Structure 1
Amino acid sequence: MAKRIAVVFDSAGTLLRMYRVAKESSTGNILENIESTAIVAKKNGCGLVALNTDNEIILHSRRDMFLFEFIKEYRVSIGISRSKGKFTPDVACEIIRGAPLLMGDVHDVLNAVTSLCPDSIYLAAGLIVDSEARKVPYVLSTGGQVFGKTLQTIQSLYAMKVDMYIASGDRMSALVQLAELVNIPQERVFAFADPIMKEKVVLELKTRYEKVVMVGDGINDILALRAADVGIMTTQQGDDRPEELRAAADVVLDDIIKVVDVVKGL
């Protein structure tokens, strides 16, 4: 017999309050609160690329070292967190190879996020790659700390015998730290989950549970929100959200703790 309820959480902006910084390659300007997934969603051939390595390794690299040289020397793999149109890791690597990006650019965004959020539970670095323009317009870093009601929400759902999952575009090493903090088993964590993968996670869980709830806040959650029995969009991050995302959700909540009341109603 199918279990009763599963809840799938996005991480950034949903379980975690995010601090986002970008360095604009064309100007060198540092920009705060940039919405990287929204930028990628606007243009075909764009991808949000994560660098899969420890931040300590990044920060101990030479500032004058080219980014592609660093990727090659340290055998850093890259992951695609979000993309639109035709975009692959091979395409991303080819464009990064030709970009005049230095590790100092990556240092700058990591240090900027650290100054904004010194108690971040994780820190990540990445890029936006534009395959049509053949350039890297932004170097990115994100950090996050759990919202004030996140742990209470998870504990309340566990008390109701609800199974919980995380499906996020973040890399696994970052998500494992979050999962351990909120007590969600690692085998229920899906990393580098793009919109299609998030939708597949929800659809697969619907074969095993009577009801599946998706909780997210970004445009990359839209397919999963539509696929779920109940799609919940959260607005506690405070960013503007496109109307199509609101339309895809069954419920819009301004605090994650209110997810508990929605699940009780099921």
Structure 2
Amino acid sequence: MARRIAVVFDSAGTLLHMYRVAKEASTGNILENIESTAIVSKKKGCGLVALNTEKEIILHSRRTMSLFDFITEYRVSIGISCSKGKFTQDIACEVIRGTSIPMGDVHDVLEAVTSRCPDSIYLAAGLIVDSEAQSIPYVLSTGGQVFGKTLQTIQSLYAMEVDVYIASGDRMAALLQLAEFINIPRERVFAFADPLMKEKVVLELKSQYEKVVMVGDGINDLLAFRAADVGIMTTQQGDKRPEELRKAASVVLDDIIKVVDVVKGL
């Protein structure tokens, strides 16, 4: 017999309040709080690429070392968090190989996030790769702190015998820190979940549950919203959300704790 309800959460901007920093390759400027998924969604052949490694390993590298040499020498894998059009790890690697992005740029964004959010439960580094232009327009870092009512929300859902999952474009090591803090089992965490994978997670859960709810805040949650029985868009991150995402959502909430009331209504 199918269990009654499952709720799938995105992490960044949904469970976590994020601080985002980008270094623009064309100018060298440090930009705050750019919405990387929105940038990727605007151009075919673009992808948001995550470096699957720890901050300490990145900062141990030489600033003058190229990004490709770092990935090769330190055997760092990459993950595709979201993309538009044809975009694979092999395509990303070829573009990275052909560019001269120094690790100093990655150091800069990591250090900027660390100085602004020293108590982050989550810290990641990555880049936007443009395969058509054969360039890396932005190097990125993000740090996150759990929203004040995130833990209360998860606990309330558990008290209602609701099963909770995470499907996020972030790397597994970072997500497991979050999952442990809010008591979500490892087997219910899906890392490097691009829009198609998020949709797949929701569809597979629909075969196991009477109702599946997707909670997110970015354009990479659009397909999962459409696949879910209920799509909940959260706005507590404070960034402007794409209108297309808002239209796809069943409900728009300004506080994650209100997810509990929506689920009660089911």
TM-score range normalised by the length of the shorter chain: over 0.9
Tell me the alpha carbon deviations over residues 177-214 of structure 1, each in whole angstroms, 9 at most, x when there is no partner. 00000000000000010111101111111111011110
What letter matches 1:25 in structure 2? A
2:90 paired with 1:53? no
The alpha carbon displacement at 1:94 in A equals: 0.9
Counterpart position of 2:110: 110
2:253 paired with 1:253? yes
Counterpart position of 2:138: 138
2:43 paired with 1:43? yes
Mapping 1:141-220, distance limit 5 Å: 141-220=141-220
The alpha carbon displacement at 1:104 in A equals: 0.6
Helix, strand or coil for the counterpart of 2:214? strand
How many residue pairs get matched?
Answer: 266
What letter matches 2:227 in structure 1? A
Runs of 4+ in 1 over 4 A off after TM superposition: none
Mapping 1:6-155, distance limit 5 Å: 6-155=6-155
Question: What is the distance in 2 between the residues matched to 1:16 and 1:34?
Answer: 16
Q: Which segments of 5 or more consecutive residues in structure 1 lack a partner in the other structure?
A: none
Question: What is the distance in 2 between the residues matched to 1:5 and 1:211?
Answer: 5
Helix, strand or coil for the counterpart of 2:257? helix
What letter matches 2:61 in structure 1? S
The alpha carbon displacement at 1:217 in A equals: 0.4
Question: What is the distance in 2 between the residues matched to 1:219 and 1:119?
Answer: 27
What letter matches 1:87 in structure 2? F
Tell me the alpha carbon deviations over residues 45-75 of structure 1, each in whole angstroms, 9 at most, x when there is no partner. 0000011111101001111111111111111
> Percent identity at matched positions?
85
The alpha carbon displacement at 1:98 in A equals: 1.4
Tell me the alpha carbon deviations over residues 209-232 of structure 1, each in whole angstroms, 9 at most, x when there is no partner. 011110000000011111111110
Counterpart position of 1:263: 263
Question: What is the distance in 1 between the residues matched to 2:122 and 2:213?
Answer: 26
The alpha carbon displacement at 1:34 in A equals: 0.7
Tell me the alpha carbon deviations over residues 70-116 of structure 1, each in whole angstroms, 9 at most, x when there is no partner. 11111111111011011111111111111111111000000001111
Helix, strand or coil for the counterpart of 1:256? coil
The alpha carbon displacement at 1:129 in A equals: 0.3
What letter matches 1:82 in structure 2? C
What letter matches 1:167 in structure 2? A
Question: What is the distance in 2 between the residues matched to 1:94 and 1:243?
Answer: 34
Helix, strand or coil for the counterpart of 2:145? strand
Question: What is the distance in 2 between the residues matched to 1:142 and 1:201?
Answer: 24
Helix, strand or coil for the counterpart of 2:148? coil
Helix, strand or coil for the counterpart of 2:87? coil
Counterpart position of 1:227: 227
Question: What is the distance in 2 between the residues matched to 1:22 and 1:62?
Answer: 20
TM-score, length-scaled by structure 1: 0.99
Question: What is the distance in 2 between the residues matched to 1:229 and 1:122?
Answer: 29
Helix, strand or coil for the counterpart of 1:169? coil
Tell me the alpha carbon deviations over residues 229-249 of structure 1, each in whole angstroms, 9 at most, x when there is no partner. 111000000111111101100
Question: What is the distance in 1 between the residues matched to 2:115 and 2:235?
Answer: 24
The alpha carbon displacement at 1:119 in A equals: 0.5
